[in-house]
Structure 1
Amino acid sequence: MPQVFGFAGFSGVGKTTLIEQLLPLLISRGVRVSVIKHAHHDFDIDRPGKDSYRHREAGAYEVLITANKRWVLMHELRDEEEPTLEEQMTRLSPCDLVIVEGFKRSNIPKIEIWREANKKPMLHPQDPNIIAVACDTPLDCGALPCLPLNDPPAIAQFIMDRFVNQTQR
């Protein structure tokens, strides 16, 4: 099983940007990384008029599109409940590390992203799954490590030490 951890924080704090910066750093260290992103809104990667869109609109529960560079499986929930994070994890190919963006109430270790300019409360006092805080200003994080948000290599090292190197021992 891969190691799993998430990034939590309010919208606009830079979770996606940080993950985008961390991925090449982790991959360059030989870590095979997958990402699960939770969207809080209706989204569609398909476009009206495309064959796959027409198939879904006609009622297909799943449409798999494949090409020589990538493939994607679209599953329409129709009247089904949204799958849990654990259920979605079973759909991933084997990897070393899964980074989760969103699912902030899930029971997985998380790094909270916090920016003073957002004027939002911190999550970590109420969430025992937060193991560190990455912030853009000096902050009293209590017993939690306080990581420099604008230093992706330092955050990548924290991730390697906490999640990857532990499993290789």
Structure 2
Amino acid sequence: MKVFGFAGYSGAGKTTLIERLIPIFRARGLRVSLIKHTHHGFDLDRPGKDSYRFREAGASEVLLAGGQRWALMHELGDEPEPSLQEQLARLAPVDLVLVEGFRNTDIPKIEVHRPAAGHPLLHEFFPNLLAIASDMAVAHSPLPRLDLNDSQAVADFILVQTGLA
């Protein structure tokens, strides 16, 4: 599986960009999966639902299965957070796995950057950033700039970088 990531500050537009890229890749016949890292706690469940009650009772894993999808929830407890490589190993094989977050991992990435947000660029601190997708010109960067609003150009860049073009 080819793996390509996106890094940037919250609110930069990573999720929106990825949401626009997936249909482009699908239209080219590629099977695509996604791993999103979050620094915040999250829960797919709601209090009162059976699966929530099973987890609260102490189940290590709860698998929800239905006619259209299934989801496996694994409680980490005292276990460390799994690495990106461990998470990739859990996915069914696809052509391309997009990764949002995981700035420190050793995968090729695009930095999503909006100068108006006032955040500094990340590329100086994370060597696997290959380009910057931005809605404005970016000063003082040796990396190529991709137009954040040109999803097709960003998709083409990723396909070339991953060898899927």
What percent of counterpart residues are identical?
A: 58
Give yes or no for contact 1:136–1:150 (8 Å, CA) kept in 2: yes
Give yes or no for contact 1:47–1:53 (8 Å, CA) kept in 2: yes
Distance in structure 2 (CA, Å) of the matches to 1:111 and 1:141: 17
Distance in structure 2 (CA, Å) of the matches to 1:77 and 1:139: 40
Q: Which runs of 4+ in 1 moved over 3 A?
A: 140-143
Give yes or no for contact 2:4–2:158 (8 Å, CA) kept in 1: no
TM-score (norm 1): 0.94
> SS at 2:40's partner residue?
coil
TM-score (norm 2): 0.96
Distance in structure 2 (CA, Å) of the matches to 1:78 and 1:50: 20
Distance in structure 2 (CA, Å) of the matches to 1:129 and 1:21: 23
Distance in structure 1 (CA, Å) of the matches to 2:8 and 2:142: 19
Distance in structure 2 (CA, Å) of the matches to 1:90 and 1:71: 17
Give yes or no for contact 1:133–1:141 (8 Å, CA) kept in 2: no
In structure 2, runs of 5+ residues without a counterpart are none
Give yes or no for contact 1:34–1:99 (8 Å, CA) kept in 2: yes
| Per-residue deviation, 1:4 | 0.7
Report 1:105-120 matches (<5 A). Answer: 105-120=104-119
Report 1:52-131 matches (<5 A). Answer: 52-131=51-130
Q: Does 1:145 align with 2:144?
A: yes
CA root-mean-square deviation? 1.2
| Per-residue deviation, 1:163 | 1.1
| Per-residue deviation, 1:126 | 2.0
| Per-residue deviation, 1:140 | 4.0
Distance in structure 2 (CA, Å) of the matches to 1:71 and 1:164: 31
Paired residue total = 165
